[in-house]
Amino acid sequence: MTYGIRIERLPPFALFDLRGSRNAISAWTNAISPFPTMPTFPTMPNSLTRAKSGELYHTGPNRWLLRAPLDREIEWERKLDPANAPPEISIVKVSDTQTFFRLTGTDAEQVASIGCPLDLHNDAFNSHAVSFTEFFGVKALILRWGDGFDLAVEQSFGDMIEDYLRRAII
């Protein structure tokens, strides 16, 4: 069977793992620098918000992941100031730990479902959904992107997941 899908390995992103309450992180980021503007905090678990400056994912209780273009990493690091963050929050730059893929096309949902146990149908996993899950047995972050998905795995599994994806569509 031929699938209508495009599999693209994306360039690295600026990624920051933020842990702490929404109020504590918001107070810290607003107090130290107004720019870049922090995306609005998602109100629901396993959801995301997008802004020009980046995307913010609510991935667990008091856990957030900020994703932005890599060329804005220094700007974000200055704003977040991880080394001086108060003890009630943790900010860790994790940009070099993840490999991202983008799956797009008419069959992206069907192919993603081969590797992922989540219900990825748009009614259950809409344009504001994000979650950690398994993908071909490896911990992965998945989110809807246009007519498909962005998927991130630990960098050391990038080649393996790319191989599995290519084999899944043969």
Taking the chain (170 residues) in consecutive chunks of 10 residues, what is each chunk's mean pLDDT?
91 98 93 84 96 96 97 95 96 97 97 96 95 98 95 98 94
The C-alpha atoms of residue 15 and residue 130 are separated, in whole angstroms, by 15
The C-alpha atoms of residue 127 and residue 100 are separated, in whole angstroms, by 17
Residue 154, classed as helix, strand or coil, is strand
Give pLDDT, residue 32.
78
Give pLDDT, residue 105.
96
Are 10 and 150 in contact by the 8 Å Cβ rule? The answer is: yes
- Cα–Cα–Cα angle for 61, 65, 69, rounded to 5 degrees: 170
Give pLDDT, residue 1.
66
Structural domains in the chain plus CATH codes: 6-10+97-168 (3.30.1360.120), 13-94 (3.30.70.1520)
CB hemisphere CA count around 71 (13 angstroms): 0
Predicted structure pTM score? 0.94
Long-range pairs, 56-62, Cβ under 8 A, ≥24: 57/130, 57/141, 57/143, 58/130, 59/130, 59/131, 59/132, 59/141, 60/132, 62/19, 62/20, 62/21, 62/22
Give pLDDT, residue 31.
84
